[in-house]
Amino acid sequence: MADPTEQLFAADAYLSTVEANVVAVDGDGAILLDRTNFYATSGGQPGDTGFLERADGTQIAVTGTVYGDPSKSVIRHLTGGGVLPEPGEKLILHIDWERRHKLMRMHTACHLLSVVCPFPITGASVGEEESRVDFDMADAPDKAEITSQIMRLVSENHPIFTRTIQESELEANPGLVKSKNVRPPRGTGSIRLVCIGDDANVDSQPCGGTHVTETGEVGPVHIGKIEKKGRENRRFRIRFGALDSS
C-alpha cells in the first residue's frame, strides 16, 4: 500500500492551487501524490476535477478524485491517460475552483437544511447545480417555509469552522454533536466536527467534506422540490437562486 496522501483540503478548503510531488503512477493512469488539495469522493460530495501542471507548463487533466483504499488514506487523481508524469516529479495542482466553490456552497446548504429539518438523514448527494437530501419523516413540510428558514440562517451570516474531538470526549459529552440525525463514525479515534455559529450554537455534526466559512457565502438557495419516497421518506432538492426564480 502506498504512503498516505496528506489531505490539505481538510485544513483549508480554499486552497485552489498547491505544489506537490508525484509518488506513483498506477497502470490505469491514476496519479498518487505526496499531498493534495483535490477532495476525494466521499460523504455524498463528488471528488474534484482540474489539472496538474508540469514544469514545462503542459497540463494533465484530472477527471475525478477518489480514495484508493477503504481507510481513506491514499488519494488517486484520475486522468484520461495520455502523457503522464514521472515519480518524484513536482507538479502544480489546480482544482476547478468554480465547480468546487459551488460544491462547497451546496454542501453547506445541506447542513443548513439539516438544521431546519431535524429528522434522520437516510441519504444525501451534493451536486454543482442541485443537491438532494433524504429524510426519514412522515409529514410533508412546506418548501417555501423550509426555504425561508434556510435563508434566514444564510442572511444571519454565521461562522463555519471545524473542530476535532476524540471519541472518548464525545462519549463523555454527547452534547458536542448537536445534529441528532447524524451518527458519528466509530472506531477512528478522532472525529472532525463541522460547526456553525459562534461556539457552534447553530449546529455541529461529523463531516469530512468542504464547506464555506460563513453561511452568507452560500448565497440564495431554495428547496426546488420535496418528493415522497416511500411512506416515511422525503427527498428534498436544493437549488441555487431564489425560490420565485425557479
Q: Which range binds Zn ion by CB under 5 A, 130-138, 170-178, 203-211, 224-232? A: 203-211
| 216, 197 contact by CB (below 8 A) | no
- 207 interacts with Zn ion by CB under 5 A: yes
Here's the x/- map for Zn ion, 155-194, by CB under 5 A: it reads as: ---------------------------------------x
Q: Which range binds Zn ion by CB under 5 A, 78-86, 144-152, 208-216, 230-238? A: 208-216
* Total binding residues toward Zn ion, as defined by CB under 5 A: 3
CA distance 144 to 183: 28
* C-alpha cell read off for 107: 454542501
Q: Which range binds Zn ion by CB under 5 A, 74-82, 145-153, 181-189, 200-208? A: 200-208
- Closest to Zn ion by CB, 42 vs 59, is 42
Here's the x/- map for Zn ion, 4-23, by CB under 5 A: it reads as: --------------------
CA distance 156 to 151: 8
CA distance 41 to 75: 10
- 202 interacts with Zn ion by CB under 5 A: no
Smallest distance from Zn ion to CB 43, Å: 7
- Closest to Zn ion by CB, 91 vs 133, is 133
- Closest to Zn ion by CB, 62 vs 194, is 194
* C-alpha cell read off for 44: 455524498
* Closest-CA residue to 46 (of 114, 159, 132, 147): 132
| 93, 50 contact by CB (below 8 A) | yes
DSSP 8-state symbol, 42: B
C-beta nearest to Zn ion: residue: 207
- Closest to Zn ion by CB, 26 vs 217, is 217
- Closest to Zn ion by CB, 79 vs 179, is 179
* Closest-CA residue to 134 (of 240, 209, 237): 237
- 209 interacts with Zn ion by CB under 5 A: yes
| Cβ contacts of 7 within 8 Å, gap of 6 or more | 35, 36, 40, 75
Residue 100, SS3 per DSSP: helix
Q: Which residues bind Zn ion (CB under 5 A)?
A: 194, 207, 209
